[in-house]
A and B are shown apart, each in its own frame.
Chain A
Amino acid sequence: MDVQKYQDPDVIRRTLERKRIAIVGLSGNELRASNFVGRYLLRNGYDIIPVNPMEATILGQKCYASLKEIPGTVDTVDVFRKPDAVPDIARDAVGIAAKCLWMQYNVISPEGAKIAVDGGLEVVMDRCMKVEHARYLGRMHWLGFNTGRVTATRN
C-alpha cells in the first residue's frame, strides 16, 4: 500500500500542535521504544494518557484499559500495537472523537486507516511521534539525522 499518503507534513505538524495524546500499548519497561516516546512527549509539554490494561501507572500517569474509559477529550491516539489490533483501536478512536489516529513505525494497517478516515479522523502511518516532533520542533538535527528540512527562516 501507499503509506506516503499518510505521511503528509501538514497533517503531522497540525497533530503535533494538539496536546492530549492517548498512547495505546505504552510499556512500563523503560528500554522499550514506546516508553522512550512517552517520556519524550511528556517532557516536551504533552499530556500523556497510557492505554495499557496490565498496569496501574506508567511514567507517573494513570493507565486506562481502553480508549473509551478515558475521561474528557483525546486529541491524538498514538498506537504501539501489532497491525491486526489497529481496526478495533481505530473504531474506539472514532467513538471518542479523537482528531488523529497515529500509527508508529511498522504499524501498517490500511483497514484501520480507512475506519479512522471514514470516521472523520486524520491519519499518520509508519511514523514516530518522537522523531516527527524532533524533526519539526525539536533537536533531531543535533545528532546529525536528516530532518529533510531546508529553510532560511529563523524559527
Chain B
Amino acid sequence: MSDDREFGFSTRTVHAGCRPDPTTGARALPIYQTTSYVFEDCEAAAAYFNLQEYGNTYSRIMNPTVAAFEERVANLDGGAGAVAFASGLAAQSAALFTLLRPGDHVVASKALYGGTVTQLKHVLGKLSVGLDFVDPDDMGAWRGAMAENTKCLFAETIGNPGGNILDIEAVAEIAQANDCPLMIDNTFATPFLCRPLDWGADIVVYSATKFLGGHGTSLGGVVVESGEFNWSNGRFPVIADPSPAYHGLAFHETFGVYGYLMKLRAETLRDLGAAISPFNAFLLAQGIETLPLRMRQHVANAQAVAEFLDADDRVGDVSYPGLAGSKYHDLAGKYLPGGCSSVFCFELPGGREDGMIFIEALSLFSHLANVGDAKSLVIHPASTTHRQLSDEELAGAGIGPGTIRVSVGIEDAEDLLWDIEQGLSAIGAS
C-alpha cells in the first residue's frame, strides 16, 4: 500500500497534493474557479464555520485548487501544512502578523531582498513592533540583538542579491535558546536545494512567483510551518490565548501541531484578505511538477556563467557561492549540496556607464526586475531600481555602480555565454 512508502522528491513534485479528482476522475488538478460552496445542511455549515470540521466556506479562506498547491509545497518542505497568499510579500507579512503584537521585537538579517527590508522597516514600525538588522554571518550579532520581547528571527537561505549563505542550524539554535521561531525566506533555494525545517527553522516563506512557478506568469506566495514550535511556551499569547476574533478558541491548545496554520488561515488570511486566485495556484502547482528538472539546469548554467565571469579579467568580483573561492563555499556545501540556485551579482569595474553599455548589448538575457524565471534575466541596479542613489548611498546598500544582477535561466549554457561575451565586448569597443 502506498501509505507505507516514503516517496522521493521528484515523485512528490508531480503527485503531492493532487490525487485524481474523486468525483470526476480528472487526472490534472481541476481549477475550482468558485467563490463559495453549498453546505450540505445547517449543521454542517455551523461545523465548518466553528472549525470543527474541514469544510469549504468561502474562497478568501480556502479553495480546493489552492489547497492542492499548498499541500504540495508543505509536503516538499516536510511541514505540517501551508497557507498560500496573493504574493510572496503578502505571505511574509501574514506569517509575521499572525505571531506578533505591538511591543514585540524582530531580529532580521540585513542581507535581504529590498522589498522585504521595506516591509519590515515600515509595516512593523506602523504596528509598533521593534526591529534590528544584523550581519547574518555574525552569530555574535544575532545573539547580541536578542531582547526580552524578541518574537521572531528572519533571514534568507541565500541572501538577495549578495549570495550570503545563512548558517541555518546555528541561527536556529539561537532562536531556540530564546524561545523564538526562526522564519526563513527560501525563495531562491526552493525545497529542492534546501529544506530549512530540516535544519531547525520553524516557518518557511516563499515568493512562489519565482523558481517554484518558474514560468514568470503568476504571482503567489506561501507559508509553510513545521508544527513543532511550542506556541504555548508563555511568550505567544496572541496564538495560545483564547481568541476574541474566534469566539474564545485557543488555537494552539485545540489544534496542536496545526494551531499556527489554522490561526494563519482562519484569522489572518480571513481578515487581511490577500487570497491567491485559484488559477494562479493551478499554474504554480503545475510549475512545481518540473521543479527538480529546472533547478538542476538553473544550477548547472549558473555555475557555468559564474565560472566564465570569474575567469575573465574584464570582470570584478563574482558573488556566486558555488565558486570555489567564495567565502560561503563551505556553508554552501552543507546547506545547498545540489547547488546555490542561479541568482547572483558581478562587478563591472567601469561603473554605471559600463553597466548600461553591457545591458544594452545583450540580446538573450531579458532586462527586467524579476528573478527565478526559466528565461535568463538581468538588471543593473544603479541605472534602474537604485537610480536615485548616490555612489555612497549605493555602497551602503551593498551595491556598486557597476554591479550587475543576473538570474540565470534554463537555456543552453553556450548561448548564455555567447550573450555575455557580446555585453563584455561592447564595453571594450566603446
Contacts and interface: CB of A to CB of B under 8 A. Distances in A.
21 contacts: A31-B247, A32-B253, A33-B253, A36-B52, A43-B43, A43-B47, A128-B256, A131-B258, A141-B17, A141-B19, A143-B81, A144-B62, A144-B81, A146-B75, A146-B80, A149-B2, A150-B2, A150-B7, A150-B16, A153-B20, A154-B20
Given A143-B262, A144-B66, A155-B22, 5 more contacts: A9-B4, A39-B52, A43-B53, A139-B54, A153-B19
Interface string B238-269: 00001000011110011111100110010000
Interface in A113-155: 128, 131, 134, 136, 138-155
Nearest to A128: B256
A155 B53 CA distance: 20
Given A31-B242, A154-B22, A143 B67 contact: yes
B15 A151 contact: yes
Contact of B15 (A13, A40, A145, A152): A152
B56 interface: yes
Contacts of A69: none
A144 B83 contact: yes
B53 A40 contact: yes
Contacts of B84: 144
A152 B25 CA distance: 10
B75 A142 contact: no
Interface residues on A, range: 20 to 34
Interface residues of B, number: 53
Contacts, number: 111
B70 interface: yes
Nearest to A138: B54
B340 to A, nearest CB: 27
A147 B17 CA distance: 8
B62 to A, nearest CB: 6
B265 A40 contact: no
Q: Which 9 A-B pairs have the closest CB atoms?
A: A144-B70, A145-B81, A146-B74, A139-B54, A9-B3, A150-B15, A105-B256, A154-B20, A144-B67
Contacts of A144: 62, 66-67, 70-71, 74, 81-84, 261, 265
A137 to B, nearest CB: 11
A40 to B, nearest CB: 6
B55 interface: yes
Contacts of A106: 256
Contacts of A139: 53-55
A104 B12 CA distance: 28
A146 B248 CA distance: 26
A142 B4 contact: no
Interface in A1-39: 9-10, 13, 31-33, 36, 39
A31 B250 contact: yes
A87 B398 CA distance: 62
A149 B3 contact: yes
Contacts of B2: 149-151, 153
Given A31-B248, A136-B3, A142 B54 contact: yes
A155 B261 CA distance: 27
B430 interface: no
A146 B19 CA distance: 13
Nearest to A13: B3
B71 A40 contact: no
Nearest to B61: A143
B10 to A, nearest CB: 12
A128 B258 CA distance: 11
B388 interface: no
Contacts of A134: 54
Interface string B371-413: 0000000000000000000000000000000000000000000
Nearest to A144: B70
A116 to B, nearest CB: 22
B54 A151 contact: no
B249 A31 contact: yes
A140 B254 contact: no
Contacts of A149: 2-3, 19
Interface in B53-96: 53-56, 62, 64, 66-68, 70-71, 74-75, 79-84
B305 to A, nearest CB: 35
A136 B4 CA distance: 12
Nearest to B73: A144
B233 interface: no
A10 B79 CA distance: 22
Interface centre among A13, A105, A142, A148 (most CB of B within 10 A): A142
